[in-house]
Structure 1
Amino acid sequence: MSNSEQRECTGVEIKVPWGHISGKWWGPQTTRPILALHGWQDNAGSFDTLIPLLPPHIGILAIDLPGHGFSSRIPDGQMYYNLDYVTTVCMIMKEYNWDKVSILGHSMGSIVGFLLAGIFPDKVELLIGLDAYKPLSVMEDYYSVKMNHIITLFLIADDRNRNESEPPSYPYDECIEKLYIGAGSSIDRDKCAHILERNIKRSTKYPDKYYFTRDSRIKYTNIGIWPKDLYSSVLEKITCPTLFIRALDSPVIPNAPPFDEHLSVLKKNPRFEYEEVDGRHHVHLNEPHKVSGIISKFLLKHTTPSAKL
Structure 2
Amino acid sequence: MSAEMEEIRLNLGHIELAAHLFGPADGEPVIALHGWLDNANSFARLAPKLPGLRILALDLAGHGHSQHRPAGAGYALWDYAHDVLRVAEQMGWQRFALLGHSLGAIISVVIAGSLPDRITRLALIDGVIPPTSGPQDAAERMGMALQAQLDLGNKQKAVHPSLDQAVTARMRGLVAVSREAAELLAQRGLMPVPGGYTWRSDSRLTLPSPTRLSEAQALSFVKRIACPAKLIVAADGMLARHTGLLEQLPFSYELLPGGHHLHVNDEQGATLVADCFNRFFGIS
Match of 2:166 in 1: 175
The 1-side partners of 2:191 and 2:125 are apart by 29
* Offset, 1:212: 1.2
2:179 corresponds to: 189
Instruction: Tell me which of 261, 273, 280 is aligned to 2:252.
Output: 273
> Which residue of the other structure, out of 79, 86, 96, is the alignment partner of 1:84?
79
**Mapped pair 1:292 → 2:269:** no
Which position in structure 1 is the counterpart of 2:89? Answer: 94
Question: Does structure 1 residue 282 correspond to structure 2 residue 278?
Answer: no
Distance in 1 between the 2:179 and 2:24 partners?
A: 31
SS of residue in 2 equivalent to 1:118:
helix
- Once the two structures are superposed, the pairs formed by residues 1-309 of structure 1 within 5 Å of their partners are 7-31=3-27, 33-55=29-51, 57-157=52-152, 159=153, 168-185=159-176, 187-203=177-193, 205-206=194-195, 209-222=196-209, 224-252=211-239, 254-257=241-244, 259-263=245-249, 266=250, 272-286=251-265, 287-300=269-282
Percent identity, aligned pairs only?
Answer: 27
Contact 2:133-2:214 within 8 A present in 1 as well: no
Equivalent residues of 1:235, 1:262 under 8 A apart: no
TM-score of the pair, normalised by structure 1 = 0.84
Offset, 1:239: 1.1
- After TM superposition, the runs of 4+ consecutive aligned structure 1 residues lying more than 6 A away are none
Task: Please state how far the C-alpha of 1:30 moved relative to its aligned partner.
Answer: 4.5
Instruction: Give 1:7 shift.
Output: 4.9
Structure 2 portions without partners, runs of 5+: none
Equivalents in 1 of 2:190, 2:239: separation in Å? Answer: 26
CA-to-aligned-CA distance 1:104-126 (integer Å, 9 cap, x gap)? 00000001111111100000011
Q: Is the 8 A contact 1:102 1:125 kept in 2?
A: yes
TM-score by length of 2: 0.91
Query: Hey, what's the Cα distance between the residues in 1 that align with 2:154 and 2:11?
Result: 26
Q: Distance in 1 between matches of 2:89 and 2:207?
A: 29
Q: 1:94 Cα shift? A: 1.8
Please give the alpha-carbon distance, in whole angstroms, between the structure 1 residues aligned to 2:163 and 2:80. Answer: 30
Q: CA offset at residue 253 of structure 1?
A: 5.1
How far the C-alpha of 1:295 sits from its partner, in A, is: 0.7
Q: 1:76 to 1:289 in 2, by over 3 A?
A: same
Distance in 2 separating the partners of 1:97 and 1:37: 18
> Separation in 2 of the partners of 1:125 and 1:183?
33
Once the two structures are overlaid, the 10-residue window that deviates more, 11-20 or 277-286, is 11-20
What corresponds to 1:269 in structure 2? Answer: none
Q: Which has the higher strand share?
A: 2
TM-aligned CA distance change 1:110 to 1:170, over 3 Å: same
Aligned residue for 1:8, secondary structure, equals coil
- Which amino acid in structure 2 is aligned with residue 105 of structure 1? G
RMSD: 2.3
For 1:238, the aligned partner's letter is I
Distance 1:156 1:32, change over 3 A: farther
Per the TM alignment, residue 141 of structure 1 is displaced from its structure 2 partner at its CA by: 2.5
Q: CA deviation at 1:261?
A: 4.9
